Homo-oligomer: A and B are copies of this chain.
Amino acid sequence: MMTISSPKGSNAERSRITNRRAVMGSIHSAGIMGRAEIARNLSLSTQAVSNIIAELLEDGLLFENGTRAGGRGLPAVQYAVNPDGGYAFGIEVRPSAIFGSLLDMHGKPVFTERLALKDARPNAVIEHVIALRDKGLKAVSISDEKLLGAGIVMPGPFGRTGLAGQESDLPEWDSVDPHKLFEDALEIPVMVSNDANAAAMAERITGVAQGLSSYAYLYFGTGLGLGIVSQGHLVPGAFGNAGEIGHVAVPIDGQMRSLESVLSRLSAQRKLQGDDEQALDFQSIADLFAAQDSELMEWLDTASIALGHATQIIENLFDPQTIILGGAMPSGVLDYLVENTTLPELTVSNRSARSEPRLKTGTSDRLTATLGAAALILNQTYTPQFVVAH
């Protein structure tokens, strides 16, 4: 659940915060940049940018990176983001395990760890999360002042809904406010979200969504989730549960099936193993794909059809620059889906002048969501805060 802050007026202090983020964001997305260039980009005076940059240098978030000649005039001193200037902590909570990661300012993971979880109730989880943080900070020798915040990914949906009672639910989390719980325990800024949203943000910080402002992200976890980014901001939904695309019905062989039942790792597992409950992991699917296993290829055919329907829905509802496929599914499989899906014609995205493909493959990794959790925090430091309306 995204925390929805009440609308706030602006004052000098808040302006500075906004502008610091805007400057960081400009430099992050450009790689290196000079002060005058940033000032033009943000419609600020060079003096203002100079002052902010001095502060950011002081804080160790930036460093000088040579000068650029090229044109006439005094060559601009260039600045770049210092990867070691700060770190974001990402946590993914699952019923049987917790995944933790630390990302530097470039979004590069410097620490990742999996912790088996016997007890997934709130207190036990908090204890493990604190342990994970301490272990991570120690492992890479980071002082805790450098920790910018923690992003938490938990299984949605948040609150009691028509989708409750599923296997992924965590015990005894119904009545607690995860955001407050984690913030009180960790004493740093916290953002809580679902896996698809987090993964979508990861693509924006380091992946194939860099430079995109409105896109959709299809996340392959156990099921299937959708992260929606509009004008650089996540669309969280009124209760933080937007993107539950897995439960949308599509026609498969003349029958309405939920997307998740044909386009997810779980569905592949069922197809390949029947009701055998042994987990079919990432690697086994990759191996079967490499061997062109006939059952898997059959599953892929059905999955492609489902993806075509999903594409039609997403494109017509959001008109994104692109739809990115990613998550815990081997990249070969994702590439196959992108290449073999027949794109629907009757959508607003079927236009001739496109700079992005309608479907593309993003990061494929079991840890996509965990890294995405940390990316939520990085995104915050690179993006001026969204003004929430009344």
- Which A residues fall within an 8 A CB radius of B? 4, 6-12, 14-15, 18-19, 22-23, 25-26, 28-29, 41-44, 48, 156-157, 159-163, 211, 213-215, 226, 228, 230-233, 235-249, 251, 254, 256, 258, 309, 312-314, 316-321, 344-353, 382-390
With A42-B7, A244-B317, A244-B319 in contact, is A258–B346 under 8 Å at CB?
A: yes
List the B side residues contacting A238 at CB < 8 Å.
213-215, 318-321
List the B side residues contacting A18 at CB < 8 Å.
9-10, 387
Are A256 and B248 closer than 8 Å at their CB atoms?
no
Minimum CB–CB distance from A47 to chain B (whole Å) comes to 11
List the B side residues contacting A390 at CB < 8 Å.
25-26, 28-29, 211, 213, 232, 382-383
List the B side residues contacting A231 at CB < 8 Å.
4, 236, 386, 388-389
The residue of chain B having its C-beta at the shortest distance from the C-beta of A314 within the complex is: B317
Minimum CB–CB distance from A257 to chain B (whole Å) comes to 11
The residue of chain B having its C-beta at the shortest distance from the C-beta of A26 within the complex is: B390
Choose from B10, B213, B344 the contact partner of A389 (Cβ within 8 Å): B213
List the B side residues contacting A10 at CB < 8 Å.
10, 14-15, 18-19, 384
CA distance in complex: A349, B241 (Å): 9
List the B side residues contacting A15 at CB < 8 Å.
9-12, 14-15
Choose from B22, B230, B242 the contact partner of A236 (Cβ within 8 Å): B230
